[in-house]
């Protein structure tokens, strides 16, 4: 693991954004693994200002709520209205708001739009993920891989805990509207990426990041599996 302390969130976002831009300029058919959450927003902001052509780049998101998957109309491919988010809290809506409305990619995939067990095959068929962006939860989760997830997990459906459902209910009109499940890339799916950026912004992530990077490799802290990845950079800032 290469661990880099950044001066600021802006610095962190620029380092990752510039590298993605550089790699796309060398390989226009790059495959990106994308994450939602507050941490990658700065990277997406940078990419929105890029003059590099992303139109041959394909993207795979880490996770999506079950029932809120985007709908794609293949007849409108490349045109307005091609992908329709089902809900403002869907991760597809988030990606539209923070990236896709301004940066045009060849195609963007979300787990759950096909059977979860074919998502990994779809990634393989596209040549695998070249660069995977990851955030980390304060309990050490990566994507929806909560503590206890096995190292060899592929894309799968997870039941959200009562806690997560309660926490997320503030974003919905009522708690009954909160999805009870999500589809997530598994640990093995993530480990197959050729390069990984693990990003952490803020003091509240410091403890867990230290455990993930320097502690035992354990399913109690799913991010600790990343220690075994051959090409991973961890960028963090206070």
**Residues with catalytic roles:** 63, 139, 141, 146
Site pattern 22..41 for ligand PGA (x: CB under 6 A): ---------------xxx--
Cβ closest to ligand PGA, residue 70 vs residue 135: 135
CA distance 123 to 96: 21
Instruction: Decide: is 67 part of the binding site for ligand PGA (CB under 6 A).
Output: no
Residues from 126 through 155 that contact ligand PGA (CB under 6 A):
135-137
CA 227 to each of CA 3, 30, 218, 232: distance values in angstroms, whole numbers, following the listed order: 11, 24, 10, 8
Which residue's CB comes closest to ligand PGA?
37
Other CB atoms within 10 A of residue 117 CB:
11
Strand 195-201, strand 131-134: pairing: parallel
CA distance 140 to 23: 29
CA distance 127 to 31: 8
Count the residues of the shown chain that bind ligand PGA, applying the rule CB under 6 A: 6
CA distance 154 to 145: 10
Cβ closest to ligand PGA, residue 20 vs residue 62: 62
As measured in angstroms, the least distance from the Cβ of 151 to ligand PGA is: 18
Residues from 97 through 116 that contact ligand PGA (CB under 6 A):
none
Residues from 42 through 61 that contact ligand PGA (CB under 6 A):
none
Other CB atoms within 10 A of residue 166 CB:
12
Cβ closest to ligand PGA, residue 11 vs residue 72: 11
- Provide the Cα torsion 73, 79, 81, 86; round to 10°: 60
As measured in angstroms, the least distance from the Cβ of 189 to ligand PGA is: 15
Q: Rule CB under 6 A: which residues touch ligand PGA?
A: 37-39, 135-137
């Amino acid at each position: 693991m290469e661990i880099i302390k950044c001066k600021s969130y802006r610095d962190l976002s620029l380092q990752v954004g510039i590298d993605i831009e550089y790699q796309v300029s060398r390989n226009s058919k790059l495959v990106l693994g994308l994450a939602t959450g507050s941490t990658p927003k700065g990277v997406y902001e940078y990419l929105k200002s890029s003059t590099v052509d992303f139109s041959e780049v394909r993207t795979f998101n880490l996770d999506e709520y079950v029932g809120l998957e985007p709908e794609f109309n293949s007849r409108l491919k490349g045109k307005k209205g091609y992908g329709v988010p089902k809900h403002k809290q869907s991760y597809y809506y988030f990606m539209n708001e923070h990236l896709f409305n301004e940066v045009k990619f060849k195609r963007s995939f979300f787990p759950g739009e096909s059977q979860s067990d074919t998502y990994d095959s779809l990634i393989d068929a596209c040549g695998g993920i070249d660069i995977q962006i990851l955030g980390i939860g304060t309990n050490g989760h990566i994507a929806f891989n909560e503590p206890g997830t096995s190292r060899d997990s592929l894309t799968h459906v997870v039941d959200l805990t009562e806690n997560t459902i309660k926490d997320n209910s503030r974003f919905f009109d009522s708690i009954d509207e909160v999805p009870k499940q999500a589809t997530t890339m598994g640990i093995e799916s993530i480990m197959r990426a050729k390069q990984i950026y693990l990003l952490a912004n803020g003091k509240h992530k410091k403890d867990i990041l230290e455990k993930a990077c320097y502690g035992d490799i354990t399913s109690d802290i799913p991010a600790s599996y990343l220690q075994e990845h051959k090409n991973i950079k961890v960028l963090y800032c206070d």
